[in-house]
Structure 1
Amino acid sequence: MEHPHHRSPHERTPLIRGANGRQGNQANKVSQDSPEYKRWRRLMLTLLVIAYTGYYFCRTNLPLAIPDLEKKEGFTRTDISSILASGYVLFLIGKFMSGYLIDKFGGKATLLGGLIGSIVTTALFTLKLHPVWFAILRALNQLCSSVGWGACVKTVRRWYEPSRAAHAVAIASLAETAGDAFVRVTLGLTLVAGLSWNQMFYISAAIAACLLIPSCFVPASPQAKGFDAPQEQNQAAREAMRDRSVYTEGSGDGGLRPFLKNTRAWLLSFELLGVVLIRESFASFVSALIASEINLSTGYSAVASAIFPTVGAISAMGGGILLDKTRQNRRALIPLISLTGLAAALLGMWAVTPSNAGESLSGYGHDTLFTQEMALFLGMIGLVAVFLFAPKVIFDGAFVMDLAGGPEHLGSLTAFVTGVGYLGGCISPFVSGALADSKGWPTAILVLAGISSTITVASAVYWFLDMKKLKETSRDEESHVPEE
């Protein structure tokens, strides 16, 4: 059961938070308003993007190598699915462990430690060619990389107040969107140039090692640079943060217990599970999907797959900026609308997938489809990304901050929500890999559309509960205001 927060009986608030827009901004300046503070904050975001891009050089290389591993090394789709699944299982375990590590050692130290482990395991991939060896190394690699995102969110929250944190998290997420696109193009071009998949792994480890150097200079917190911690100066946002938090002021409740008893927390975790399942299905197999449906080479398929994270970068940035500019009582509508569009986009992609539309590659007399068919298919992949990445950033960034209410429990809550969410990652190889292998890509895409529809319903329930929570708190406060 959710507990309302009690404030002074003379403190009046609007009936619904944010119903009058942004209001109550305090005029007094604090250190977070100084130009020097803002410069450090920009540097922090830049270095976070660099560091997390290093993680993606160590994560995306295996999905790009899948076509060659199948064609040249004799790996089956079941082998590939098992390898990826082992990674997701350890990634999931690492997510739950990361909360303790991040809260104990801090965001920066955890971020750097995970990146070092990712680099080492990437280099070890090439020592032996066997599915079991690959499964072990992928598991260790994903265990190391599991701490990266939570460390980024923790660091961002230390530098930003909640009303401005969503767009900052979206900027940090550019590493998993624009950074991933850069990785796909860079490593894809190495394959186009004729390098082998194992040479591509060495290159990815070397580039990640170079990115580790500037990452060491990430400013861990404002206090480390002589500033005060950021204070929320937006009255409506500050009140909404208290209302949405699962922790009751002065109750002494800590840890995960209040979170686990909260319906919105479980809904948020379930929504993220579905979003991650769909995203990881595309992230892992979009290159193989393009190679299969459009009959492109491994290298060109890897380059073409960059459309997914590239468009995703626009989606994530747009979602973060829009969330910060939206009234408090309308925030939960943004992912609801986006997920509705995602379900429609997946149905559209299912309809135009060449093998589903009955378009035989040989029927055109060419090795590839005509340009317009290729553009339509790749365009639908991009449209899926438009509606997919904004909810992901909102769920495991801004909405987790809402429920945490402050930085004290943020590491643990981020770890829990993303941990539950990455159960979807564990399932994704069997949805987009094994299912596509046995039933074909159209069936796999149709299943993803059904999953999207399900989490859209969950998002609608979350929006309803969010509105109800804000209204209940307002009514409680109004009832404590004495008549004058």
Structure 2
Amino acid sequence: MTLLTGYAGYYICRSNWAVAKPLMLEAFKDQGITKAELGDVESVALLAYAGGKLLSGVVTDFLGGRGVFLFGMIASAVCTVMFGFAGGLTALFVVAAANRFVQSMGWGGLVQVTGRWFPAGTHGTVLGILSMSYLLGDAIAKVYLGLFARTDNWQDIFFISAATLAVVTVGCYIFLKSSPTAIGAVEPPPNPANVFGDAADGPPPSVRALVVPLLTSTTFWLVCFMNGGLTLIRETFRSWTPTYLKEVQSLSPEDASLYASLLSFAGAAAAFGTGCVTDLFRGRFGVVMAPMLAITSLGLAWLAMRPGGGSLGGLMVLLCTISFFVLGPYTLCSGVLALGLGGKRGGATAAGVIDTAGYLAGTLAGSGIGRLAEAHGWSTAFAALAGVAAGTFVITVVYALHERSRRPLVRVPVETT
């Protein structure tokens, strides 16, 4: 519960950007700042996040998950306060990049602590529940911070975010334990299918010994490519949905933020459901993910043909459906798949590299999608996303076929009588 609450707290200081963006477009329009420029800010921030993921994953496997997790929370709260004093585009670039860099410490810390607390056969369900933290955190942030969008003062949104994360950090410092040994219990064994074999239970002797087994795994690279496509789609919806709803449905900023939060609730249901189903399939993730990507592709293609979506109710049903079927597979890549590949020795590093691949592709969600929407409209933007989803579906099918020829990443012992 502490990890769930703590990582949801991270999103209070991340989703505030999406809530404040419509107000910032109004506030900075005299400076010539449009969706394209704010998209550039987000793309640079995602690059910083991707780089931070790569570094923090390795650091976490050497130093431990709890300390890195807590430090990231403190640093993000400080950066969020600085947002409120940003008076122009340059300042927004610097602060956004700094905030996303320190926020990269959160997920690797969560994965590392999880691997030490829970046995491999439950990782799908456990990480499905923990993945709800950033989906519910995103939804709660948009509802909670959307209440303050009524003030038309975008700085208040950032100050309130920072104060909220500070309170959550105190609770995590008190209650979060790094492993069962902290309370006199025994850690479970690592996933037997990880790339390190039996050595995965001990600390890494060097960076080379930590990284090389992952980089020489075909399964690992397929997961990285899948996560690239999924992250691009997910980041587009997370960042641009309030702005999109405001423009095509003429909603107020606070109402647009409220409706956008429904997508995260749909994603939270997908994370939990998909995690439970993969445990039932005993590590055969590809057969679960491929149909979901096929439905995502069809949903985005339909949205490209009807970007206005008709009625608000019909549009929200379509958006929530797409969110459900893209976020289910998304939560697997840097969660249970990363922990299955890296085990307790390299789970944070695996999650970090997989997320780095994802967020490198996700940088296009800011600058690329922002420019497409600005220059050619939302229909073209959704058509591009439909193409990304179709390409990711093909990679997922290849992964599923590869998975059939190898042992699964999670092997659940079968009880016999």
TM-score (norm 1): 0.79
Q: Secondary structure at the match of 2:84?
A: helix
1:319 aligns with 2:257: no
1:436 aligns with 2:385: no
Which has a greater percent of helix? 2
- Aligned twin of 1:210: 167
1:271 aligns with 2:229: no
The alpha carbon displacement at 1:59 in A equals 0.6
1:463 aligns with 2:400: yes
Structure 1 CA distance for aligned equivalents of residues 384 and 157 of structure 2: 33
Structure 1 CA distance for aligned equivalents of residues 209 and 287 of structure 2: 29
String of CA shifts for 1:229-274, please: whole Å, max 9, x gaps: 1147xxxxxxxx54x4333557999322122122221111000011
Question: Among residues 340, 365, 378, which one is paired with 2:316 in the alignment?
Answer: 378
Question: Among residues 162, 174, 194, which one is paired with 2:132 in the alignment?
Answer: 174
Q: Please tell me whether the aligned partners of residues 267 and 323 of structure 2 are also in contact (alpha carbons under 8 angstroms).
A: yes
String of CA shifts for 1:384-431, please: whole Å, max 9, x gaps: 111011111111111112222x20121221111111111122221133
Alignment of 1:376-455 (within 5 A): 376-404=314-342, 406-455=343-392
Q: Please tell me whether the aligned partners of residues 85 and 155 of structure 2 are also in contact (alpha carbons under 8 angstroms).
A: no
- Aligned twin of 2:52: 94
Structure 2 CA distance for aligned equivalents of residues 248 and 165 of structure 1: 18
The alpha carbon displacement at 1:331 in A equals 3.0
Question: Among residues 92, 99, 111, which one is paired with 1:153 in the alignment?
Answer: 111
Q: Please tell me whether the aligned partners of residues 126 and 201 of structure 1 are also in contact (alpha carbons under 8 angstroms).
A: yes
The alpha carbon displacement at 1:86 in A equals 1.5
Q: Which runs of 4+ in 1 moved over 4 A?
A: 248-253
- Aligned twin of 2:295: 341
Question: Among residues 240, 245, 258, which one is paired with 2:194 in the alignment?
Answer: 245
Q: Secondary structure at the match of 2:355?
A: helix
Q: Please tell me whether the aligned partners of residues 41 and 366 of structure 2 are also in contact (alpha carbons under 8 angstroms).
A: no
Structure 2 CA distance for aligned equivalents of residues 410 and 250 of structure 1: 13
Corresponding letter in the other structure for 2:368:
V
Corresponding letter in the other structure for 1:55:
Y
- Aligned twin of 2:411: none
Structure 1 CA distance for aligned equivalents of residues 214 and 277 of structure 2: 26
Structure 2 CA distance for aligned equivalents of residues 298 and 120 of structure 1: 26
String of CA shifts for 1:255-313, please: whole Å, max 9, x gaps: 22122122221111000011001100111111101111111111111111101111110
The alpha carbon displacement at 1:201 in A equals 1.1
Alignment of 1:56-95 (within 5 A): 56-74=11-29, 75-95=33-53
Structure 2 CA distance for aligned equivalents of residues 326 and 248 of structure 1: 22
Aligned residues: 398
Structure 2 CA distance for aligned equivalents of residues 174 and 411 of structure 1: 18
Q: Secondary structure at the match of 2:209?
A: coil
Structure 2 CA distance for aligned equivalents of residues 126 and 400 of structure 1: 36
Corresponding letter in the other structure for 2:294:
T
Q: Secondary structure at the match of 1:401?
A: helix
1:188 aligns with 2:146: yes
- Aligned twin of 1:227: 185
String of CA shifts for 1:441-462, please: whole Å, max 9, x gaps: 1111111011001011101111
Corresponding letter in the other structure for 1:160:
F
Unaligned runs of 5+ in 1: 1-45, 233-240, 358-371, 472-484
Corresponding letter in the other structure for 1:196:
N
Corresponding letter in the other structure for 1:454:
G
String of CA shifts for 1:17-62, please: whole Å, max 9, x gaps: xxxxxxxxxxxxxxxxxxxxxxxxxxxxx11111112111111111
Question: Among residues 313, 322, 331, which one is paired with 2:285 in the alignment?
Answer: 331
The alpha carbon displacement at 1:199 in A equals 1.0
Structure 2 CA distance for aligned equivalents of residues 210 and 249 of structure 1: 40
- Aligned twin of 2:69: 111
Q: Please tell me whether the aligned partners of residues 51 and 212 of structure 1 are also in contact (alpha carbons under 8 angstroms).
A: yes
Q: Secondary structure at the match of 1:127?
A: coil
Q: Secondary structure at the match of 1:129?
A: coil
- Aligned twin of 1:364: none
Distance 1:353 1:101, change over 3 A: same
Structure 2 CA distance for aligned equivalents of residues 166 and 455 of structure 1: 21
- Aligned twin of 2:210: 255
Corresponding letter in the other structure for 2:210:
G
- Aligned twin of 1:41: none
Structure 2 CA distance for aligned equivalents of residues 176 and 248 of structure 1: 31
1:55 aligns with 2:13: no
Q: Please tell me whether the aligned partners of residues 340 and 347 of structure 2 are also in contact (alpha carbons under 8 angstroms).
A: no
Structure 2 CA distance for aligned equivalents of residues 195 and 119 of structure 1: 22
Q: Secondary structure at the match of 1:469?
A: coil
Structure 1 CA distance for aligned equivalents of residues 298 and 250 of structure 2: 26
- Aligned twin of 2:82: 124
Structure 2 CA distance for aligned equivalents of residues 411 and 327 of structure 1: 22
Structure 1 CA distance for aligned equivalents of residues 302 and 272 of structure 2: 24
Structure 2 CA distance for aligned equivalents of residues 247 and 213 of structure 1: 35
Distance 1:287 1:250, change over 3 A: closer
Structure 1 CA distance for aligned equivalents of residues 402 and 121 of structure 2: 20
Structure 2 CA distance for aligned equivalents of residues 309 and 335 of structure 1: 19
- The structure whose Rg is larger is 1
Q: Secondary structure at the match of 1:407?
A: helix
Corresponding letter in the other structure for 1:212:
T
String of CA shifts for 1:323-357, please: whole Å, max 9, x gaps: 111244x3321111211111112122223322xx7
Question: Among residues 168, 184, 197, which one is paired with 2:154 in the alignment?
Answer: 197
Corresponding letter in the other structure for 2:405:
K
Structure 1 CA distance for aligned equivalents of residues 373 and 152 of structure 2: 28
Q: Please tell me whether the aligned partners of residues 281 and 431 of structure 1 are also in contact (alpha carbons under 8 angstroms).
A: no
Distance 1:58 1:250, change over 3 A: closer
Q: Please tell me whether the aligned partners of residues 159 and 230 of structure 1 are also in contact (alpha carbons under 8 angstroms).
A: yes
Corresponding letter in the other structure for 1:285:
W
- Aligned twin of 1:162: 120
- Aligned twin of 1:353: 307
